[in-house]
Protein backbone atom coordinates (compact mmCIF):
# COMPACT_ATOMS: atom_id res chain seq x y z
CA UNK A 1 0.00 0.00 0.00
CA UNK A 2 1.32 3.44 -0.88
CA UNK A 3 2.66 5.45 2.02
CA UNK A 4 0.76 8.54 3.10
CA UNK A 5 1.98 11.97 4.14
CA UNK A 6 0.33 14.48 6.47
CA UNK A 7 -1.20 17.36 4.58
CA UNK A 8 0.83 20.59 4.61
CA UNK A 9 -0.27 22.96 7.41
CA UNK A 10 -2.30 25.24 5.13
CA UNK A 11 -4.23 22.34 3.58
CA UNK A 12 -4.69 20.72 6.97
CA UNK A 13 -6.22 23.91 8.32
CA UNK A 14 -8.42 24.10 5.23
CA UNK A 15 -9.80 20.61 5.94
CA UNK A 16 -10.44 21.56 9.57
CA UNK A 17 -12.30 24.68 8.42
CA UNK A 18 -14.48 22.52 6.20
CA UNK A 19 -15.30 20.21 9.11
CA UNK A 20 -16.07 23.26 11.27
CA UNK A 21 -18.45 24.50 8.57
CA UNK A 22 -20.24 21.15 8.42
CA UNK A 23 -20.66 21.08 12.20
CA UNK A 24 -21.98 24.65 12.10
CA UNK A 25 -24.57 23.59 9.52
CA UNK A 26 -25.84 20.94 11.96
CA UNK A 27 -25.59 22.71 15.32
CA UNK A 28 -28.13 20.74 17.37
CA UNK A 29 -26.82 17.84 19.51
CA UNK A 30 -28.94 15.29 17.62
CA UNK A 31 -27.89 16.57 14.19
CA UNK A 32 -24.25 15.47 14.15
CA UNK A 33 -21.93 12.89 15.71
CA UNK A 34 -18.16 13.15 16.04
CA UNK A 35 -15.74 11.43 18.41
CA UNK A 36 -14.16 13.28 21.32
CA UNK A 37 -10.69 12.43 19.98
CA UNK A 38 -11.48 14.07 16.64
CA UNK A 39 -12.91 17.12 18.41
CA UNK A 40 -9.71 17.34 20.48
CA UNK A 41 -7.63 17.20 17.30
CA UNK A 42 -9.69 19.96 15.70
CA UNK A 43 -9.25 22.14 18.79
CA UNK A 44 -5.51 21.48 18.89
CA UNK A 45 -5.03 22.41 15.24
CA UNK A 46 -7.17 25.51 15.66
CA UNK A 47 -5.45 26.67 18.88
CA UNK A 48 -1.86 25.54 18.36
CA UNK A 49 -1.55 25.66 14.58
CA UNK A 50 -1.29 22.72 12.21
CA UNK A 51 2.50 22.94 12.05
CA UNK A 52 2.72 22.06 15.76
CA UNK A 53 0.72 18.83 15.56
CA UNK A 54 3.05 15.83 15.49
CA UNK A 55 0.56 12.97 15.04
CA UNK A 56 -1.93 13.24 12.18
CA UNK A 57 -4.52 10.45 11.64
CA UNK A 58 -5.72 9.45 8.20
CA UNK A 59 -8.85 11.54 8.55
CA UNK A 60 -11.67 12.94 10.66
CA UNK A 61 -14.98 11.11 10.69
CA UNK A 62 -18.35 12.64 11.41
CA UNK A 63 -21.98 11.83 10.78
CA UNK A 64 -24.73 14.34 10.07
CA UNK A 65 -28.46 13.72 10.14
CA UNK A 66 -30.25 15.48 7.28
CA UNK A 67 -33.91 16.23 8.03
CA UNK A 68 -36.19 15.43 5.10
CA UNK A 69 -39.54 16.12 6.74
CA UNK A 70 -41.11 16.12 10.20
CA UNK A 71 -40.65 12.37 10.68
CA UNK A 72 -37.87 11.32 8.30
CA UNK A 73 -34.13 11.95 8.24
CA UNK A 74 -31.11 10.27 6.71
CA UNK A 75 -27.61 9.86 8.12
CA UNK A 76 -24.60 10.88 6.04
CA UNK A 77 -21.21 9.52 7.13
CA UNK A 78 -18.40 11.88 6.13
CA UNK A 79 -14.61 11.53 6.16
CA UNK A 80 -12.25 14.49 5.80
CA UNK A 81 -8.85 13.08 4.75
CA UNK A 82 -5.87 14.56 6.59
CA UNK A 83 -3.18 12.65 4.73
CA UNK A 84 -2.24 12.22 1.07
CA UNK A 85 -0.12 9.91 -1.05
CA UNK A 86 1.60 13.06 -2.34
CA UNK A 87 4.14 14.86 -0.12
CA UNK A 88 2.93 18.28 -1.29
CA UNK A 89 -0.51 18.04 -2.94
CA UNK A 90 -1.73 21.22 -4.66
CA UNK A 91 -5.08 21.09 -2.86
CA UNK A 92 -6.71 19.10 -0.05
CA UNK A 93 -8.31 15.76 -0.90
CA UNK A 94 -12.07 15.80 -1.41
CA UNK A 95 -14.24 14.78 1.49
CA UNK A 96 -15.83 11.37 0.99
CA UNK A 97 -19.26 10.36 2.21
CA UNK A 98 -21.77 7.52 2.28
CA UNK A 99 -25.41 7.16 3.27
CA UNK A 100 -26.56 5.02 6.18
CA UNK A 101 -29.62 3.01 5.21
CA UNK A 102 -32.66 4.21 7.19
CA UNK A 103 -35.32 1.74 8.25
CA UNK A 104 -37.87 3.31 5.89
CA UNK A 105 -35.79 2.91 2.70
CA UNK A 106 -34.99 -0.38 1.00
CA UNK A 107 -31.52 -1.20 -0.33
CA UNK A 108 -32.42 -0.75 -4.00
CA UNK A 109 -33.83 2.73 -3.35
CA UNK A 110 -30.80 3.62 -1.26
CA UNK A 111 -28.51 2.54 -4.10
CA UNK A 112 -30.46 4.65 -6.59
CA UNK A 113 -30.32 7.64 -4.26
CA UNK A 114 -26.58 7.24 -3.70
CA UNK A 115 -25.87 7.07 -7.43
CA UNK A 116 -27.85 10.27 -8.04
CA UNK A 117 -25.94 12.37 -5.51
CA UNK A 118 -23.28 14.91 -6.54
CA UNK A 119 -19.76 13.99 -5.46
CA UNK A 120 -19.26 17.29 -3.62
CA UNK A 121 -20.46 16.92 -0.03
CA UNK A 122 -22.12 20.34 0.18
CA UNK A 123 -23.95 19.82 -3.11
CA UNK A 124 -25.01 16.37 -1.92
CA UNK A 125 -26.43 17.79 1.32
CA UNK A 126 -28.34 20.43 -0.65
CA UNK A 127 -29.69 17.72 -2.94
CA UNK A 128 -30.93 15.66 0.00
CA UNK A 129 -32.66 18.64 1.58
CA UNK A 130 -34.24 19.86 -1.67
CA UNK A 131 -35.35 16.39 -2.77
CA UNK A 132 -36.58 15.26 0.65
CA UNK A 133 -40.26 14.74 -0.25
CA UNK A 134 -39.39 12.67 -3.33
CA UNK A 135 -36.89 10.50 -1.44
CA UNK A 136 -39.41 9.29 1.13
CA UNK A 137 -41.32 6.26 -0.22
CA UNK A 138 -45.11 6.25 -0.23
CA UNK A 139 -44.98 3.05 1.81
CA UNK A 140 -42.31 1.97 4.26
CA UNK A 141 -40.72 -1.51 4.09
CA UNK A 142 -43.37 -4.13 4.78
CA UNK A 143 -44.36 -5.03 8.29
CA UNK A 144 -43.85 -8.66 7.31
CA UNK A 145 -40.11 -8.15 6.88
CA UNK A 146 -39.97 -6.26 10.17
CA UNK A 147 -41.73 -9.13 11.94
CA UNK A 148 -39.34 -11.63 10.44
CA UNK A 149 -36.39 -9.54 11.60
CA UNK A 150 -37.72 -9.07 15.11
CA UNK A 151 -38.52 -12.80 15.47
CA UNK A 152 -35.22 -14.02 14.03
CA UNK A 153 -32.99 -15.95 16.45
CA UNK A 154 -30.40 -13.87 18.26
CA UNK A 155 -26.79 -14.93 17.82
CA UNK A 156 -23.49 -14.02 19.39
CA UNK A 157 -20.58 -14.06 16.94
CA UNK A 158 -16.84 -13.70 17.56
CA UNK A 159 -14.65 -12.31 14.77
CA UNK A 160 -10.85 -12.61 14.77
CA UNK A 161 -8.52 -9.98 13.26
CA UNK A 162 -4.76 -10.59 12.86
CA UNK A 163 -4.38 -6.86 13.54
CA UNK A 164 -6.88 -4.26 14.72
CA UNK A 165 -5.02 -1.11 15.71
CA UNK A 166 -6.28 1.78 13.56
CA UNK A 167 -8.28 4.19 15.71
CA UNK A 168 -10.60 5.35 12.93
CA UNK A 169 -11.58 1.78 12.03
CA UNK A 170 -12.27 0.92 15.68
CA UNK A 171 -14.42 4.04 16.03
CA UNK A 172 -16.48 2.94 13.03
CA UNK A 173 -17.07 -0.48 14.58
CA UNK A 174 -18.37 1.07 17.78
CA UNK A 175 -20.34 3.96 16.27
CA UNK A 176 -22.05 2.02 13.49
CA UNK A 177 -23.30 -0.95 15.54
CA UNK A 178 -26.38 0.72 17.15
CA UNK A 179 -27.96 1.58 13.79
CA UNK A 180 -27.87 -2.15 12.97
CA UNK A 181 -29.47 -2.96 16.35
CA UNK A 182 -26.31 -4.71 17.53
CA UNK A 183 -24.53 -4.85 20.87
CA UNK A 184 -21.13 -6.25 21.77
CA UNK A 185 -17.56 -5.15 22.26
CA UNK A 186 -14.26 -4.74 20.43
CA UNK A 187 -10.75 -5.49 21.69
CA UNK A 188 -7.98 -3.78 19.74
CA UNK A 189 -4.47 -5.09 19.24
CA UNK A 190 -2.55 -7.79 17.43
CA UNK A 191 -4.65 -9.90 17.28
CA UNK A 192 -7.99 -8.10 17.68
CA UNK A 193 -11.43 -9.38 18.59
CA UNK A 194 -14.96 -8.24 17.76
CA UNK A 195 -18.00 -9.75 19.48
CA UNK A 196 -21.47 -8.95 18.13
CA UNK A 197 -24.93 -9.81 19.41
CA UNK A 198 -28.01 -9.49 17.21
CA UNK A 199 -29.87 -11.18 14.38
CA UNK A 200 -27.83 -12.91 11.65
CA UNK A 201 -29.10 -10.54 8.94
CA UNK A 202 -28.19 -7.44 10.97
CA UNK A 203 -24.72 -8.79 11.69
CA UNK A 204 -24.20 -9.58 7.99
CA UNK A 205 -25.34 -6.07 6.96
CA UNK A 206 -23.07 -4.48 9.58
CA UNK A 207 -20.00 -6.48 8.54
CA UNK A 208 -20.69 -5.71 4.88
CA UNK A 209 -20.79 -1.98 5.66
CA UNK A 210 -17.56 -2.22 7.65
CA UNK A 211 -15.78 -4.03 4.81
CA UNK A 212 -17.07 -1.87 1.96
CA UNK A 213 -17.26 1.58 3.57
CA UNK A 214 -14.95 1.73 6.59
CA UNK A 215 -12.35 -0.46 4.90
CA UNK A 216 -12.87 1.05 1.46
CA UNK A 217 -9.33 2.45 1.46
CA UNK A 218 -7.71 -0.88 2.40
CA UNK A 219 -6.47 -3.27 -0.33
CA UNK A 220 -8.54 -6.46 -0.55
CA UNK A 221 -5.68 -8.72 0.50
CA UNK A 222 -5.35 -6.80 3.77
CA UNK A 223 -9.02 -7.07 4.77
CA UNK A 224 -8.38 -10.06 7.00
CA UNK A 225 -11.16 -11.11 9.35
CA UNK A 226 -12.55 -14.53 10.17
CA UNK A 227 -15.56 -15.75 12.12
CA UNK A 228 -14.33 -18.02 14.91
CA UNK A 229 -17.48 -18.93 16.84
CA UNK A 230 -21.25 -18.45 16.59
CA UNK A 231 -23.65 -19.07 19.45
CA UNK A 232 -27.37 -19.24 18.64
CA UNK A 233 -29.76 -18.05 21.32
CA UNK A 234 -33.50 -17.65 21.61
CA UNK A 235 -35.68 -15.84 19.08
CA UNK A 236 -35.87 -12.05 19.47
The whole-angstrom separation of Cα 91 and Cα 76 is 24
What is the rounded distance in angstroms from the CA atom of residue 161 to the CA atom of residue 192? 5
Question: Which residue ranges make up each domain of the chain?
Answer: 5-135, 148-230
pLDDT at residue 234 in the model: 62
- Number of residues that make up the chain: 236
pLDDT of residue 119: 93
Contact, 147 vs 221, CB < 8 A?
no
- pLDDT for position 146: 44
pLDDT at 141: 47
CB within 8 Å of 82: residues ≥ 6 apart: 6, 7, 12, 15, 56, 57, 58, 59, 60
Q: How far, in Å, CA of 128 to CA of 120, rounded?
A: 12
Tell me whether the omega of the peptide bond preceding residue 218 falls within 30 degrees of 0, making it cis. no
pLDDT of 151 reads 62
Overall pTM surpassing 0.75 (yes/no): no
CA dihedral 224, 227, 228, 234 (to 10 degrees): 160
The percent of the chain in helix, strand and coil, each rounded to the nearest 5, is: 40, 25, 30
- Of the candidates 76, 183, 56, the one whose C-alpha atom is nearest the C-alpha of residue 123 is 76
Q: How far apart are CA 212 and CA 220, in angstroms?
A: 10
Residue environment code for 113-148, b if the CB has 16+ CB neighbours within 10 A, otherwise e: beeebeeebeebbebbeeebeebbeeeebeeeeeee
**pLDDT, one tens digit for every residue, the chain (236 residues):** 455 888 998 999 999 999 999 999 999 888 999 999 999 999 988 888 778 777 888 999 999 999 988 888 899 999 999 998 888 889 999 999 999 988 888 888 888 899 999 999 999 999 998 887 788 876 444 433 443 445 678 899 999 988 887 787 888 888 888 888 899 999 888 888 999 999 988 898 888 888 877 777 777 666 788 888 999 876 54
**For residue 62, how far is the Cα from the chain centroid?**
7
CATH superfamily, domain 5-135, is: Ubiquitin Conjugating Enzyme (3.10.110.10)
Task: Round to whole Å and give the CA distance between 69 and 178.
Answer: 23
* CATH classification for the domain delimited by 148-230, as one of 3.40.50.300, 1.20.1070.10, 3.50.50.60, 3.30.70.100: 3.30.70.100
Cα distances (angstroms) measured from residue 61 to each of 184, 195, 224: 21, 23, 22
Nearest alpha-carbon partner for 135 in 146, 124, 120, 147: 124
Amino acid sequence: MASSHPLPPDLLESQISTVDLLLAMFPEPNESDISQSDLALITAIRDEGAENITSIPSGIDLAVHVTLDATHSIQVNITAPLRSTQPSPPEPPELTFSLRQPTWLDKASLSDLTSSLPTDIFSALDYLRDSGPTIIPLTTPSTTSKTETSSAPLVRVWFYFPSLSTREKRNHMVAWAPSHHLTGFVLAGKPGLLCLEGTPSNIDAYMNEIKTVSWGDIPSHQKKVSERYREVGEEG
